[in-house]
Amino acid sequence: MDAEAIKLLATAIAIALGAIAPAIAIGMIGAKGVEAIGRNPEASSKIQTSMVLAIVFAEAIAIYALVIALILKFV
């Protein structure tokens, strides 16, 4: 296997692993948020704010993985 193939394989692994974990985390955050709102509808604004903030932090991890994958691909 030449260097270019290894570089492409590393890029694919970086973006695949970097996208799977945040996707699972966002799904769990959404499920627990909806469950919490179902139990306590009066607190839905506070729960939704915290839920969206947690989703943003999880999505940031995916963006970091994308940046690393692009660095691996073009450097």
* Whether CATH 1.20.20.10 fits 12-74: yes
Angle of the 44-74 helix axis to the 3-39 helix axis, nearest 10: 180
pLDDT tens digits, 16-57: 999 999 999 999 999 999 999 999 999 999 999 999 999 999
Element (H, E) at 47: helix 44-74
What predicted TM-score, i.e. pTM, was given to this entire model?
0.80
Residues 34, 44, 39, 28, CA torsion sign: positive
